[in-house]
Amino acid sequence: MSKHHVFREYYEAILVAVIFTLFARTFVAQAFKIPTGSMEDNLLVGDHLFVNKFVYAPHWDTPLHRILPYRDIRRGDIVVFKYPQDPERDFIKRAIALGGDTVEVRGKGLSVNGEAEVNPHVVHKDRQIIPDTPALPASIRNRDYFGPFVVPAEFVFCMGDNRDNSYDSRFWGPVPRSYFKGRALFIYWSYEAQPNSHEWRGWWDRMRQLASVGVHFFSRTRWQRSFSVVH
């Protein structure tokens, strides 16, 4: 076998692998890292997730689409979406209400369509209740008092499980249906990390982070969270 033929076989194999990886990342699944504490204690900073990207995709009438488990967003789903105020950034929150639903928060208590929320993963780490007074800007009082607000059609109202430390739809509004990228499936790796460590602070900082992971991989990996299903 000539060297040219061997080179071509390797080239084709690598090209197919790259195309398959890009296809899977675009349409099937994508890795996502939890950067902040807005979903604590359910999801922790440093949890690495696999996200199902085709579950909310448009469903065409083809044999392939008939067998794939497509469905629409449901209340309670943990979802990844493009942040409406900066679509280049991805956020992860819980879908709280869909188009036509009425959302209301009173003294930290959430209700949807008049029914109190039942979610065992919700935490309130600040006992103080911010009063509902016009003297405070909405950016402050909306944390503990919000609405009633009717979610528009083709939008989804999203909130973090860590309700006192979540920048979510209470502050910047519902998310367009077209902005959703997928549903969180499971944690494949969890590593004790600092909040917002994903933000770019230069090559030196990134190299320092990688070196730290190499040194502390075994001691800071949360082994008990590996392959945990996200609820």
* Neighbour tally for 16: CB within 10 Å: 10
Q: How far is CA 194 from CA 21, 89, 200, 225, in A?
A: 29, 18, 13, 17
Q: Which residues pair with 32 in a beta bridge?
A: 49
Residue of 38, 166, 169, 190 marked active site: 38
CA 90-106-168 angle, to 5 degrees, is 5
In the residue annotation, 38 being an active-site residue is answered as yes
Residue of 93, 166, 181, 190 marked active site: 93
Cβ contacts of 181 within 8 Å, gap of 6 or more? 30, 51, 53, 80, 81, 82, 90
Cβ contacts of 51 within 8 Å, gap of 6 or more? 29, 30, 31, 32, 80, 181, 182, 183, 184, 185
Residue holding tokens 């609405």? 147
Decide: 146 and 103 in contact? Cβ < 8 Å. yes
Beta strands in the chain (DSSP E): 29-33, 47-52, 78-83, 86-98, 102-106, 109-112, 115-116, 145-150, 155-159, 175-176, 180-190, 228-229
Decide: 158 and 175 in contact? Cβ < 8 Å. yes
Active site members: 38, 93
